Amino acid sequence: EKLFSGFSKTRENLAVVDELLLYWNLADTDRVLDELEEALLVSDFGPKISIKIVDSLRDDILAGKLKSGSEIKDALKRCVLELLTNKGSKTELQLGFRKPAVIMVVGVNGGGKTTSLGKLAHRLKKEGVKVLLAAGDTFRAAASEQLEIWAERTGSEIVVAEGEKAKAPSVLSQAVKRGKEQGYDVVLCDTSGRLHTNYSLMEELVSCKKAVAKVIPGAPNEILLVLDGTTGLNMLQQAREFNDVVGVTGFILTKLDGSARGGCVVSVVDELGIPVKFVGVGEGVDDLQPFDAEAFVNAIFP
Ligand code: GDP
């Protein structure tokens, strides 16, 4: 429901196409596909994906495979679903067998990183997972306190920086050591929010990753990039840069309850081949859902 309301703007953009498809006949093909391309572009699908979708529909229409407006609509949904599920890449967390599993959460400031980490802790705890939080955002003064509030809210233990000069890699390393010694299942690591253009902070992420791997070879198991769902195509650039520097294993898409821009998500998943693992649909503890590509597509193309 929240996802559906978040995509109202995208649906509005596509309404004209829906209308045309209701009364579609073969002679209308160019007009409908032009309108569709325009609507996809306005909805931030990006030129590459918009053209890819429209071309594939055109081919199928001209080959006589799609014979009605509703068949075209179904083909459109199938096409977007395929792009989003990206050849079956895993949308579930891959935590491996070694304990503790380590999840690092990264992203730009204000995207919803700390909130998502708290919501993820809540989710995992509900499943009976023993979770330790690591306050690795040592850059923003209030970040650690914000995470402490989430620790309290979710009944999780937390490791915070000792002393003002403590650096993120050492906080994460400490937390993972404690996780190992005290039998935790998962260590959830916050990191400093950063612009993807802030190269020294981006380098710090690499140090964080190395510090964690020193304690548990092969860790972190997951590096989840938080992407603000209300950002336009800039999301693609962010995802590229974080992936280049640190190697992203999955996305958490936040604020899909607001005025989300679903289109660019399709572009990001298609280009990078990295799956969306969770979506944020509000600020409460229960507002993090596993990504459901079908629900996502149905919310855009009902
Ligand atoms: P960070 O700087 O990336 O750690 O971002 P925060 O976790 O502090 O979140 C920034 C703001 O976005 C806060 O006001 C959050 O409550 C809000 N926020 C985070 N996720 C969501 C979401 O899924 N939906 C909505 N509506 N707000 C969110």
Q: Among the listed ranges 34-43, 181-190, 258-267, which one has the minimum average pLDDT value?
A: 258-267
Residue 217, preceding peptide bond in cis (omega within 30° of 0): no
Q: Find the Cα–Cα–Cα–Cα dihedral 274, 94, 118, 44, rounded to 10°.
A: 10
Question: Which residue owns the Cα nearest ligand 1 atom 19?
Answer: 112
Q: Find the Cα–Cα–Cα–Cα dihedral 206, 208, 213, 216, rounded to 10°.
A: -160
Q: Which atom of ligand 1 is nearest to the CA of 137?
A: 4
Pocket lining: 298 vs ligand 1, CB cutoff 6 Å: no
Question: Which region, left, alpha or beta, applies to residue 44 given φ > 0 means left and ψ of -120 to 50 means alpha?
Answer: left
Q: Which amino acid is at 261?
A: R
Pairing assessment for the beta strands 131-134 and 157-159 based on DSSP bridges: parallel
Q: How far apart are CA 281 and CA 255, in angstroms?
A: 6
Question: Which residue owns the Cα nearest ligand 1 atom 9?
Answer: 112
Q: What is the pLDDT of residue 130?
A: 96
Q: What is the pLDDT of residue 87?
A: 64
Going by pLDDT thresholds of 50, 70 and 90, the confidence category of residue 59 is very high
As a whole number, mean pLDDT of residues 17-43 equals 92
As a whole number, mean pLDDT of residues 161-188 equals 92
Pocket lining: 2 vs ligand 1, CB cutoff 6 Å: no
Q: Find the Cα–Cα–Cα–Cα dihedral 38, 39, 45, 50, rounded to 10°.
A: -50
Pocket lining: 111 vs ligand 1, CB cutoff 6 Å: yes
Q: What is the pLDDT of residue 196?
A: 63
Pocket lining: 255 vs ligand 1, CB cutoff 6 Å: yes
Q: How far apart are CA 206 and CA 199, in angstroms?
A: 11
ipTM of the complex: 0.99
Q: What is the pLDDT of residue 6?
A: 84
Going by pLDDT thresholds of 50, 70 and 90, the confidence category of residue 138 is confident
Q: How far apart are CA 146 and CA 140, in angstroms?
A: 10
Nearest one of 172, 183, 194 to 102, comparing CA atoms = 172
CB 171 within 8 Å of CB 157: no
CB 278 within 8 Å of CB 255: no
- 102, 175, 179, 272 from 278: Cα distances, Å: 17, 24, 24, 17
More confident residue, 1 or 278: 278
Count of all residues that appear for the chain in the document: 302
CA of 107 to the centre of ligand 1 (A): 12
Pocket lining: 221 vs ligand 1, CB cutoff 6 Å: no
Q: Is 133 helix (H, G, I), strand (E, B) or coil?
A: strand
CA of 255 to the centre of ligand 1 (A): 7
The single residue listed with the structure tokens 């093909």 is 29
Angle between helices 168-181 and 199-215 in degrees, nearest 10: 20
- 32, 41, 66, 193 from 35: Cα distances, Å: 5, 10, 18, 39
CA of 128 to the centre of ligand 1 (A): 25
As a whole number, mean pLDDT of residues 259-271 equals 86
Residue 210 has pLDDT above 70, yes or no: yes
DSSP-assigned beta bridge partners for residue 107 = 226
Residue 165 has pLDDT above 80, yes or no: no
Q: How many CB atoms lie within 10 A of CB 45?
A: 29
Pocket lining: 194 vs ligand 1, CB cutoff 6 Å: no
As a whole number, mean pLDDT of residues 185-210 equals 87
Residue 163 has pLDDT above 80, yes or no: no
pLDDT over 90, % of the chain: 71
Q: Among the listed ranges 51-60, 193-202, 214-223, 278-287, which one has the minimum average pLDDT value?
A: 193-202
As a whole number, mean pLDDT of residues 203-214 equals 95
As a whole number, mean pLDDT of residues 114-123 equals 96
As a whole number, mean pLDDT of residues 59-87 equals 93
Question: Which residue owns the Cα nearest ligand 1 atom 21?
Answer: 255
For every residue of 192-240, DSSP letters joined together read ----TT-HHHHHHHHHHHHHHHHHSTT--SEEEEEEETT--THHHHHHH
Residue of 115, 191, 279 with the most ligand 1 atoms within 8 Å of its CB, for mutation: 115
Q: Does pTM top 0.90 for this prediction?
A: yes
